[in-house]
Structure 1
Amino acid sequence: MIATLYRAVLRRTSTFALVAVGGAFIFERTFDLMADTLYENVNRGKLWDDIKHKYE
């Protein structure tokens, strides 16, 4: 398995850099989505979208 990983990703610097950038992008998007979901769940009923009908 390690040999396969080495041959597929780590052998060339350009491939390693592409995998690193792609992984960082996917991690950032996933982390951002999870953090937003957690924030909205913790603050349910207090956010503008939840109370805007009272002020319109």
Structure 2
Amino acid sequence: MTITNSIYNVLFRRNYVFVGAVFASAFAFEMGFDTISDKVWDNLNKGRQWKDIRHRYVEEE
């Protein structure tokens, strides 16, 4: 049995399994992309965001 036959039998043979795999992979891609882009944004803007300068302007109670 080849790899393509295995992939076909596992994912593409039934429509509901294929649709579920598409939704699951899209969700995983979105989570990974958002995490990486947030880290890049935070790295590029370090020291200029509210979370970095909040202690200068907010007084503790």
Q: If the TM-score is normalised by the length of the shorter chain, which range does it land in?
A: over 0.9
- Note the C-alpha offset of 1:53: 1.1
Residue 31 (structure 1) aligns with? 33
TM-score after normalising by structure 1: 0.95
Which 4+ residue blocks in structure 1 deviate beyond 4 angstroms? none
Q: Which has the higher helix share?
A: 1
Q: What fraction of aligned residue pairs are identical, expressed as a percent? A: 34
Residue 16 (structure 1) aligns with? 18
Structure 1 segments unaligned to the other structure (5+ residues):
none
TM-score after normalising by structure 2: 0.88
Paired residue type of 1:39: W
The CA RMSD over aligned residues, in Å, is 0.6
Aligned counterparts of 1:32 and 1:7: Cα–Cα separation in 2? 32
Which is greater in Rg?
Answer: 2
Equivalenced residue count is 56
Aligned counterparts of 2:52 and 2:20: Cα–Cα separation in 1? 41
Structure 2 segments unaligned to the other structure (5+ residues):
none
